[in-house]
Structure 1
Amino acid sequence: MDLRALKTFEACVRLGHFQKAAEELQYAPSTVTLQIQRLEADLGVSLFVRDGKRVIVSEAGRWLHREASVLLKTVGSMRQTVSDIAAGDGGNIHFAAIEPIASQRLATVVADFCATRPKVQLTMEVSGSRSIAERVRAGELDFGICSTPLAAFMLEFEPLIEEKLGVMMRADHPLVHQNDISVSDLAGLTVLVKEPTCIYRELWEKALSHTGNPFSYLEVGSFFVIQQMIKEASSVGIVPIYEGLETEGSLVIRPFADMNPLVSLGIVYKDKEFLGKATNLLMDAIKSRFK
């Protein structure tokens, strides 16, 4: 069945007159008549009963009208959805980012993006750098925000920012009056660190490889939990330097004096050509945030 003929038929029934349907569809009356005749010939039934000057919808026509109305709405929705996806106003995005960049730098960007493109179905996960790179390579994620992936993964990487590690402590900690912290200053203290698979933990241990280990570790799987534990005790934590992690009058972060541990974070993906328009627009918005 020709969708145009179905659309013409639906208009004829809805408006109750061939002439009105022709005016709405901007067809010549003869075109409307021809399309209805072809539709009836295709189906092998009469959709209208002619009674003098009146044209009455047959039983088969009434059933077809109900089904055609649903079908045409579905087709219209399909056309709109495809158009939205092509314009970046629809589609699906699935990405992941490490903490604390996810909450400290990306939350506002993602919220603004969703507000301007409410039809886009977006899923944002928080995970570790290695896991993100592996899932991007496997096609489970469209892109990720993480550290430089292994060369063997053969992924594209666009650097966004270099992050430094620092020492988080309470505002009343004895070391708080120092502008920077030496590793030796941490001797005898319990140091809160992330789990071994965290890129910041790897960076910390690499930086310490030539300085020794004068303190004990306590592994904590969340920067938020590290914050709360430091608030309640005299421990210190190894965290990336973010103003958003500090709490006025409560927590501060000091840089290191005798080492400069840096890690490059960026966007990782397989091939932009295979990513949707909305995904590329979100990636552009994230890159603009870091300029």
Structure 2
Amino acid sequence: MEFRVIKTFQTIVRLGSFQLAAEYLKYSQPTITLHIQKLESELGFKLLERGKSIKLTEAGKIFYERANILLKEYEYLNNTLKDYSTGEAGTIRIGAAEPTASSRLPSILSLFKKRYPNTEISLLVADEKHLHQHIRNQEIDFAIGTVSESFRDIEFEALLTEKLVLLLPFNHALTKRKTIFAKDLIHETLITAGQSSVQKKIEQLLFERTGQLPAKVQLGTISTLQHFVKENLGIAVVPQISATLPPDQVVVKTIHDLHDGPAIGILKHQSHTVSTAGKTFLALLKQNLAFDLKKAQIELSV
């Protein structure tokens, strides 16, 4: 049973004549008649009584009621499949590491959902080690983060370089310095946020610049870290995106020879095919991260 034949029957009943249905559907009248004959033959009973006006048989009344429901479902299914093919529907499984998960993704996800409300998004926030495991198991479509080592089965597409800044208590001696170098931090207490790839890269860069590392106080999150700085328990080197709204009495400074941190980008399994919806999201992500990078460069140059 063809949907176009059911559509022809529905249109005849709605408009009240074969001729009007033919004009509306842009078919010839013989084609309209053939559709009804074919439908009645397949069903095994008459649907319409022909005369001066079109009348439904009892069987026709029942079929007309169900045909309307069937065609609505077909239209919904057709539109849904079309949305899937154009990237306007589907499910996207995203992984993200901090600080991108908290500082960059919310606004991008909000914008994406406004444009594509029929798309479902599943977000996993974890450190890079766990994101790599989920990518390998293909439990997520892709992740946004960085890498501390190379993997043969995971592809990495760099999108921007994380910019680093120094957080100081407002009464710290370094707040009065116009230019701060990495070596100036050697005798300080460095407050760190966990053992993420970003944190490891920061410590690696500090060691490369100075040959040693300051004493550390290790915490769980960057948001907690800033309050420890506020209470004069140490200093911190963090991604600039994490320090856009520092607490009162916390001063943000640049480090002359330590402003480029790790690369942030997209991680995915080399054998995993990203859906059309996923590709649509990635295009929006790249566009917004590119803007984020330009903004960061302007702020650092001021």
Q: Common fold, TM-score beyond 0.5?
A: yes
Output the CA distance in 1 between the equivalents of 2:82 and 2:181: 56
1:267 aligns to 2:262 (yes or no)? no
Instruction: Let me know the Cα RMSD of the aligned residues.
Output: 3.1
Percent of aligned positions with the same letter in both sequences? 28
In structure 2, how many angstroms separate the alpha carbons of the residues matched to 1:109 and 1:7? 42
1:283 aligns with 2:287: no
Equivalent-residue separation in structure 1 for 2:46 and 2:60 (angstroms): 7
Of 127-136 and 165-174, the range deviating more from structure 2: 165-174
C-alpha distance in 2 between matches for 1:150 and 1:186: 26
- The 1:258/1:157 distance shift into structure 2, 3 A limit, reads closer
Q: Deviations over 1:2-28 (max 9, x none)?
A: 111111111122223322222221122
TM score, norm. by length of structure 1:
0.82
Contact 2:230-2:247 at 8 Å conserved across structures: no
Q: 1:214 to 1:38 in 2, by over 3 A?
A: closer
- Aligned counterparts, 1:7-22, within 5 A: 7-22=7-22
1:193 CA drift (Å): 1.8
8 A contact 1:104–1:244 mirrored in 2 = no
Q: Which residue of 2 aligns with 1:30?
A: 30
Change (3 A) 1:214 1:267: closer
Q: Structure 2 matches for 1:37-186, cutoff 5 A? A: 37-50=37-50, 52-148=51-147, 150-163=149-162, 165-178=164-177, 179-180=179-180, 182=182, 185=185
Question: Does structure 2 conserve the Cα–Cα contact (< 8 Å) formed by 1:160 and 1:265?
Answer: yes
Counterpart contact for 1:49–1:56, Cα < 8 Å: yes
Secondary structure of 1:7 counterpart: helix
Provide closer, same or farther for how the CA distance between residues 276 and 270 of structure 1 changes in structure 2, counting only shifts above 3 A. Answer: same
Q: State how far apart, in whole Å, the 2-side matches of 1:286 and 1:122 are.
A: 14
Using the alignment, how far apart are the partners of 1:98 and 1:182 within structure 2? 26
User: Counterpart of 2:28 in structure 1: which amino acid?
Assistant: A
Task: Work out whether residues 192 and 217 of structure 2, in 8 Å CA contact, stay in contact via their aligned partners in 1.
Answer: yes
Aligned residues: 287
In structure 2, C-alpha distance between the alignment counterparts of 1:114 and 1:233, rounded to whole Å: 41
Per the normalisation by structure 2, the TM-score is 0.79
Is the 8 Å Cα contact of residues 165 and 200 (structure 1) preserved in structure 2?
A: no
Kindly tell me: are residues 232 and 188 of structure 1, through their superposed partners in 2, closer, same or farther at Cα, counting changes over 3 Å?
A: closer
Unaligned 5+ segments in structure 1 are: none
